[in-house]
Structure formats: structure tokens, C-alpha cells
Amino acid sequence: MTFKIVEIDKMENRRVVFFVPSFMGYEKSIDEALKQNFSDVKLFDQRSVQTGFGKALSKKFPRLLRKRNVGYYKSNVDSISFIPTDVVVIQGDMIEHETVQYMRKLWPEVKIRLYMWDNLQNLKGVETKISWFDSVSSFDPGDVETNDLIKFRPLFFSQDYANYAASNARANEVKYDASFIGTIHSDRNRVVSDIFQSLDHDATIFDYRYLQTRWIYFVYKMLKRDFKGSKFSDFKYQTLSAEAIADVVDQSNVVIDINHPKQRGLTIRTFELLAMNKKMITTNAEVKRYDFYNPANIHVIQRDKDIVVPKLFLQSEYVKIDEKIVNKYSITSWLFDILEIKNEI
């Protein structure tokens, strides 16, 4: 399977509304990219609930929030002061058919689009909603292969990361041999521990294992085997800003990336590292099928096997990737592809 970025219409006047989950500051990066490219834009959180408990409830029992979802979206739609040409929904687990119909009645010419940065297996009920949208894209090749209505579009890096790579002001001093910053889910805690333990004992590391709420730690402590010997202080309960993450990445020789075992799509961290010319250790073998893959930069491990990270890989220099390839994964290229605008970047 060859991954292609589909290029369609030429740039035209667009008025764009985004519903995007608030997550690790990526919604701010999208908002900035929208404002740089379009005069009329509006961005909302796609979730009608923002608390940890509410998010957990929406995943397990999404129908309980139906009325809340309808009211939340209607209130936001009614607040928009312009007639949009495009509405983009990221994830789509909290949008109802009634809402889509309301938008189409209010704006008869609007294109309503869905983008998924999680896969359908993790997005309860979204597969039944695909026919509601004018276009559907996903970061996960597995979903694309099983549904002809879904187009493939990988994730992106924000301008912050490109700026770090381009800046001559940074000395690029390495403080950490390896670093990890990410949300703990599935087997990620165990795999991260296994990777760190595989490194030389004198290796310097930065370890930021994030949990969405404090109570999740105690639930995991009771239910997950790899949490048995853990301490509350082993985890962080506040997200880092994009700038703080970029700082750590900039000061790391190698960055660890652990994909969800049910996902084949590449994480957003992969593209951030691409923008910053940084090497990566990853569990996702799918990366070998992308045009920027180079084994000198990306070391693939198996999450259930003994992990070996060659010392040479930790110490060697990054091999730069062609700029045209890198630019395909910028946030602006991603945005134009989602909106089906010919990308001439």
C-alpha cells in the first residue's frame, strides 16, 4: 500500500469551523494555523464534557450524553457570526445526527468533514456516523483499508517544532540520552520501563508519564500488573505545553514513542521529531512504510520481545530528510488536505 496525500481543488475563499478535542495543546496549534490561512475561523472543543469523569463516561456510555451533546453543539453553532463553507469535526464521538442535520439546514452549502486521530476501534459508535459527512479522513491505515469512504491522512507537526529546527539561536545541547513524554494507557507504562532498563546504567533520561487525573493512578494500581511496584510520584498529572515538550525534545538525543497496541497510525510525536531532526525509538513497525523512514533515525522495537537499543544508535548523528518530504507533514499541509484544498506548499 502506497500512502498518497490527495491534492484536489485550488485554494479558494474558505470560512472554517473546527470542533477539536482539547488535548496537549494541539487544539491551539490548529487554531493558529487556521487563523494564518483563513480570515473567518472558529474553533470549539468537540467534547460537551471536559472533566476526567465526564470523558470516561462518554467513552463507556456515550448515549447517556446525547441530550447534552445536542444542546452543546447547538449553542456553539448559534454563536457563529459568519456562514461557514466548511465544518471539520475531529473524532466525532460526541456529535449527534440531529446536530449535523441542524447545520445543513442552517448552512445548505456547507461541507461537513470528519477527521479521526484515533482509530474506529477506540471511537465507540463513530463507524455508524461516517455516512453523515461529506468527507472522512483518518490517521490509521487499518481503518482506510477496511472502509472505502475513509481517506488516509497522517497527523502533523505544529509550527513550533519547525521553528525549533530552523532556529540558529539554539545550541542544541543534549542533556538526555533518551526521553519520554506521553499519556499512560494500555501497556505503555511497562514498555517505557523496559526501554529505559535496556539502556546503559549511566544513560541520562527524561521521564514524563502523564495520567489525566489522580484517581486514575489508584484504579490502575489496583487493576494493572505493571503498576504494582509504582509510586504516585512516578507519574505527572499536568500536561506540558508545546514549548516545554519541544524544549525536552531539543535537548534529547533519542525520543521514545509508544503507539497504542490497537492502532497502526503514527502518533503526532513521530512528526514532531521529523520536524526537529530527532531520532526515535518506536514500537510501531508501520513507520517503515512511510517516505521519511530511515533506520539510522528510527529504531523499531517489538513491545513483547527483549528490547535491545544499540549504543551506536544512541550516539550517532541524525540523517536529514528531504525538505519536501518533511513539509508534507506540516500542520498547514494537513489542514489543506482535510479541507481538500490543493496544497502548493
Return the HEC string of the chain. CCCCCCCCECCCCCEEEEEECCCCCHHHHHHHHHHHHCCEEEEEECCCCCCHHHHHHHHHCHHHHHHHHHHHHHHHHHCCCCCCCEEEEECCCCCCHHHHHHHHHHCCCCEEEEEECCCHHHCCCHHHHHHHCCEEEECCHHHHHHCCCEEECCCCECHHHHHHHHCCCCCCCCCEEEEEEEECCCCHHHHHHHHHHHCCCCCCEEEEEECCCHHHHHHHHHHCHHHCCCCHHHCECCCCCHHHHHHHHHCEEEEEECCCCCCCCCCHHHHHHHHCCCEEEECCHHHHHCCCCCCCCEEECCCCCCCCCCHHHHHCCCCCCCHHHHHCCEHHHHHHHHCCECCCC
Tally of domains in the chain: 2
Task: Please choose, from the candidates 311, 309, 316, 240, the residue with its C-alpha nearest in 3D space to the C-alpha of residue 277.
Answer: 316
One domain, residues 135 and 283: no
Specify whether 165 is located in the same domain as 305.
yes
Q: Are residues 179 and 252 in the same domain?
A: yes
CB neighbourhood size of 309 (10 A): 20
Please tell me the predicted confidence (pLDDT) of residue 167. 67
Residue 108 sits in the same domain as residue 242? no
Question: Residue range 286-307: average pLDDT?
Answer: 96
Q: Alpha helices, DSSP H only, in 38-96?
A: 52-60, 66-78
37 and 167 assigned to the same domain = no
Residues 165 and 313 placed together within one structural domain of the fold: yes
Domain co-membership, 101 together with 143: yes
> Pairing mode, if any, of strands 298-300 and 252-257?
unpaired
Rounded-to-integer distance, Cα 58 and Cα 68, Å: 11
| Residue 288 domain flag | yes
pLDDT tens per residue, range 183-234: 999 999 999 999 999 998 889 999 999 998 899 999 999 999 999 989 999 9
Indicate whether 63 pLDDT > 80. no
Give the mean pLDDT of the chain.
89
Residue 139 in this model has a pLDDT that exceeds 70: yes
In a domain, 3, yes or no: no
Residue 231 lies in a domain: yes
In-domain check, residue 134: yes
Read off φ and ψ for residue 215, nearest 5 degrees.
-70, -25
Return the pLDDT at 245. 87
One domain, residues 174 and 270: yes
Alpha carbons within 13 A on the beta-carbon side of 90: 24
Residue 39 placed within a domain: yes
- 9 has a pLDDT exceeding 50: no
Q: Answer whether residue 343 is part of any domain.
A: no
Higher pLDDT, 2 or 194: 194
pLDDT in the model for residue 217: 95
282 and 204 in a common domain: yes
Rounded to 5°, the CA angle 270-335-39 comes to 140
Asked whether residue 175 is assigned to any structural domain, the reply reads yes
With 90 as the cut, is the pLDDT of residue 288 above it?
Answer: yes
Q: For 158-172, what is the mean pLDDT?
A: 67
Name the nearest CA neighbour of 209 among 176, 186, 177, 243.
186
Q: What is the reported pLDDT for 170?
A: 53
Q: Are residues 140 and 187 in the same domain?
A: no
Q: Is the pLDDT of residue 143 over 60?
A: yes
pLDDT of 201 reads: 82
Is 54 a residue whose pLDDT tops 80?
A: no
Which residue range(s) make up the domain with 38?
15-156+330-338
Domain of 30: which CATH number?
Answer: 3.40.50.2000
User: Is 8 part of any domain?
Assistant: no
Task: Tell me: do 97 and 169 sit in the same domain.
Answer: no
What number is the average pLDDT over the span 9-38? 84
